[in-house]
Amino acid sequence: MTILETEALTRAYGGVVAVNKVDFSVESGLITGLIGPNGAGKTTLFNNMTGLDIPSGGKVFFNNKDITGFPAHKICRMGIARTFQNIRLFKDLSVVENVMIGRHFKTGPSETKGRFVNALHSYVYLKREEQEIYEKADSWLDFFDMGQFKNELAKNLPYGKQRELEIARALATEPELLFLDEPAAGMNPQETEHLMSIIRKIRDLGITVVLIEHDMKLVMNICDTITVLNYGQKLAEGTPREIKHNPRVIEAYLGKEEA
């Protein structure tokens, strides 16, 4: 079943067509890789599917609903979460607080509106809700084997754990679909290995994953299907084996990586 689909999605910045009539499709329950050279339009495609940017043309469908041009917070509430190419943590908050903030992104002010009619009732309710958010955040940290770091400041975590903490925060919004932009960037081989097992565990929870990544070992090992972008256009899509042996992909991207 298709969970997300774009139709001729296009984003031009002046004369630069960063994403050019891309038909991208994501199957529910799978790990989909999005690869291609730097500047190919991968992050722009993510931004235009998650409400961080507005397409110049084309459509985005999530569970068959047209979400083209919806704002990021609305898309988040519908069940799509993401991480960014560069770390965006609250470095002076604790690890567990960073995850709790993820949950607040989703429930946020609109659900609390109207509760202040009865201040005491609100206070009790919010305290209980806060406790639930805390417990849920705590269990996500256990999922990442990060429980022992929960009261550390985010900035004191090793680099690989900081990157995983961002994923934990995205998961705290309880998404159906998770977008990861270069999750392994800057990680050492051990950290990448751990990340791979985590991404598989996320998929096994039934959460659909789409990831941009340059680490071909990670991509070829964990992706069920791969889409290749080049100069803003879709160059190929297929299984890791098909992509690895596709002459056009080798020419545009894979061959050059090895050189």
41 binds, among Mg ion, ligand ADP, none (CB under 5 to 8 A by kind): ligand ADP
The distance of closest approach from Cβ of residue 183 to ligand ADP in the complex, given in angstroms and rounded to an integer, is: 13
- Asked whether position 48 contacts Mg ion by CB under 5 A, the answer is no
CB of 43 to Mg ion, least distance (A): 3
Q: In which element (H, E) is residue 138 found?
A: helix 119-143
13/159 with CB nearer ligand ADP: 13
By CB under 6 A, residue 219 contacts ligand ADP: no
Contact 163, 213 (CB under 8 A): no
Q: What one-letter code names the amino acid at 148?
A: Q
The contact pattern for ligand ADP, residues 12-51, with x = CB under 6 A and - = no contact, is -x--x-x-----------------x-xxxxxxx-------
| Coil vs helix vs strand at 238 | strand
Between 46 and 140, name the residue whose CB sits nearer to Mg ion: 46
Q: Does position 230 bind Mg ion by CB under 5 A?
A: no
75-112 CB burial, b ≥16 within 10 A, e <16: bbbbbbbbbbeebebeeeebbbbbbbbbbebbeeeeee
Asked if 249 is part of the footprint of ligand ADP (rule: CB under 6 A), the reply reads no
43 binds Mg ion (CB under 5 A): yes
Please, how many CA atoms are within 13 Å of residue 124, restricted to the half-sphere of its CB? 3
Q: HEC states along 146-160?
A: CHHHCCCEHHHCCHH
Note the residues at the interface with ligand ADP (CB under 6 A): 13, 16, 18, 36, 38-44
